[in-house]
Amino acid sequence: MSGICGLFEFGSGEHPIDEKVLVRMRDALAHRGPDGAGSYLSPDRRVGIGHRRLATLEPARAGAQPASNRDRSIWIAFDGALDDPGRLGALLEPKRRGAGPSSEAELLVQLYEQEGAGFVERLDGMFALCVWDARRRELLLARDRLGIKPLYYAVLPGLILFASEIKAILCHARVSRRIDLAALYHYLTFVASPAPRTLFQGIHKLPPATRVIVDRQGELRAETYWDPLEVPADPAARYADAEYCAARLRDLLQSAVTAGARADGPVGVLLSGGLDSSALVAFLAAGRGGPPPTFSVGFKDHPTYNEFEYARQVATLFRTEHHEVAIGPKDLLDYIPELIVQQDEPIADWVCVPLHSVAERARAAGTVVIQLGEGSDEQLFGYETFRRAYESYARYFERLMKVPRALRSGAYGAARGVAFLLRRGGERLEVLRKAAREEMLFWGGAIAWSEAQKRRLLSEGARARMEGLTSHAVIAEHYRRARHERPEADFGQLMSYLELKNRVAELVLMRVDKITMGSSIEARLPFLDRALVEFAQRVPTSLKLQGGQTKFLLKKAMQGILPEAIIHRPKQHFRAPVAEWFRGALYGEAMDGVLGSRLREEDLFDYDHVRDLFGAHRSGRRDHSRQLWTLYNLSRWYDYWIAERKAA
């Protein structure tokens, strides 16, 4: 695990790379790699690569990067962890094996020499990487299949910069700091900016499973090298057989947990006591390393959010070394400045707050690698909201879409009028609205602002500047691709695919990476193992929700391994009491942070309306906590990353 960065000057050569700038970019990522630093600057000063290293597996000298081939014509910097380096080593031609590579980076150099840019398709695990090929004068950038590791880039006249985090790119004086209005518009809905945009105009992020090749003229060629929809079905698999699918899921998860346990030190688990994290503990405890250290987080002033009781049961059962941390609103307020720095751009998910606390606790305990259960609920239908959306589609939406559009629009207009008079809306009204506008029913598992709510929030000038934008276009493209590649897929499979491509990749995984790496912790995610994802995408939703029971297959898979009380305990989301804090300790700070922000100079929002939202939330009339959290994050981000730099 590490941080990578670099520059490629493909222009006239009149502005050679300043080594001090390269080092400054590299060391802006020191938290990602406190155990070592390295850099490469080409003799003509047209290419520079930087690397910061977090030692989790290899000796410091063997793991030094950037790494090169023997004649120093190929250079690579790599962030991440490969699942099975031994398998990759076996793919090398005998003449390239020699004494064998001494690190993952050296192995990747040899694979690139053998196969070129296509070597990325051989890799399993999580990674972001760059390869400089001096013979071809080409730069290769790549992000792993699910997007577990981030990679950003910016293209300027004659120059491309890239890095694991945006803050490194911002170290270059030629990079401007302006808001990308389209990214902002979508951020308000999805709580994070969908790839390839970021909130910084001109700075982009690679989507998952994407490689970009930059040639000597600076031309970029982006390619998607994997998609779970394109993977052929296993002809031997019995996807409609619950017994088979549960056993297969159990085997795949156990293999993924084992692969994610490669480390020199102990591999811990962020343990809630729920089904997902308890499964990770069970498989790790049964492995060669024995019981893993476990870490749980709760809240001092809101015990109803806590899962300590369940986590303790699992820790006792598997005899783990268990650690707990409890936080309150003061911890949140103290963490906000650091949060804004760690995120780079707003990721308005309050899970970042407890995740930071538990990552800090793990690092203090000497644990550098932890496993988390992210990705399970989205693939295996663990959320009640997913179940309701799936059932609403079957009961209402699919039928509505067969009705002529004019009738749908008329019915929605009449229903909206009645709802306004009665001051009631509801789920069915929202279904009718989307059918009337021919929008997809499900937009994702974390939606903050609807299109109508955004229009009310935006100022008149901002509405004019963002005319024609719709966040539905973001998800519509993923649905279109899914329908084209797999027309037989049921709606639940489409929902899961959308989550993997948008919310999981750009919200869930970004919060995990930014927050854990902020504490110099490597997070591994077994439920996002490639083979498990490819299998889960083929299983019909009726099996995942058999009898209306969420996460049916995983519950069945873990029978005999976990106690029934853990398997069937009610789902409790990993979250924070931000709604309550917005009515108490956080209210004044958030109100001042939003209404007093220099973001107001951009003329984006109707701040009288924003003030009303704060008042309605504090009074208890409405819960606007998710919407207010997006505005608070955005305002604090703007003041730190843009306004302060303008003043300087």
- Amino acid letter at 626? R
Mean pLDDT throughout 149-173?
Answer: 97
Mean pLDDT throughout 119-126?
Answer: 95
Give the three-state DSSP class for 27.
helix
Domain 233-381+495-567, CATH class in plain words: alpha beta
Q: Is the pLDDT of residue 441 over 50?
A: yes
Partners of 76 in the beta sheet? 67, 131
**Tokens of residue 389, six digits:** 């959306």
The pairing of beta strand 2-9 with beta strand 47-53: antiparallel
| Of residues 321, 272, 332, the one with CA closest to residue 296 | 272
For residue 95, name the pLDDT band (cuts at 50, 70, 90).
low
- The secondary element (H helix, E strand) that includes residue 126 is strand 125-133
Q: Phi/psi at 66 (nearest 5 deg)?
A: -60, 150
Between CA 144 and CA 211 the distance in angstroms is 9
Which of 30-39, 487-496, 565-574 shows the lowest per-residue confidence on average (mean pLDDT)? 565-574
Chain centroid offset of residue 275 CA? 21
Beta carbons within 8 Å of 581's beta carbon, 6+ residues apart: 329, 332, 587
Q: Is the pLDDT of residue 403 over 90?
A: no
Between CA 514 and CA 576 the distance in angstroms is 18
For residue 439, name the pLDDT band (cuts at 50, 70, 90).
confident
Partners of 210 in the beta sheet? 224
**Tokens of residue 53, six digits:** 């290293």
Per the CB < 8 A criterion, the answer to whether 70 and 277 are in contact is no
Q: Is the pLDDT of residue 225 over 70?
A: yes
Chain centroid offset of residue 20 CA? 31
Q: 114: exposed, middle or buried (C-beta count within 10 Å: 0-12, 13-18, 19+)?
A: middle
CA distances to 25, 146, 214, 223, 602 from 206, in Å: 19, 11, 13, 10, 28
Buried b (16+ CB within 10 A) or exposed e, 310-322: bbbbbbebbebeb
Between CA 576 and CA 495 the distance in angstroms is 25
- Amino acid letter at 359? A
pLDDT at position 625: 93
Give the three-state DSSP class for 571.
coil
**Tokens of residue 545, six digits:** 């929700």
Q: Is the pLDDT of residue 498 over 90?
A: yes
Beta carbons within 8 Å of 391's beta carbon, 6+ residues apart: none
Q: Rounded to 5, what percent of the chain is helix, strand, coil?
A: 50, 15, 35
Q: Which has the higher per-residue pLDDT, 575 or 178?
A: 178
Mean pLDDT throughout 323-344?
Answer: 95
For residue 60, name the pLDDT band (cuts at 50, 70, 90).
very low
Q: Is the pLDDT of residue 92 over 90?
A: no
C-alpha dihedral (559, 564, 569, 571), degrees to nearest 10: -10
Mean pLDDT throughout 52-75?
Answer: 81
Look over the chain and give the mean of its residue pLDDT values, rounded to a whole number. Answer: 91
Extents of the domains making up the chain: 2-226, 233-381+495-567, 577-648
Which of 251-255, 298-302, 558-562 shows the lowest per-residue confidence on average (mean pLDDT)? 298-302
Mean pLDDT throughout 145-149?
Answer: 97
User: Which architecture, in CATH terms, is 2-226?
Assistant: 4-Layer Sandwich (3.60)
pLDDT at position 161: 98
Per the CB < 8 A criterion, the answer to whether 515 and 356 are in contact is yes
Residues of the chain above pLDDT 90, percent: 77
The model's pTM:
0.94
Per the CB < 8 A criterion, the answer to whether 497 and 379 are in contact is no
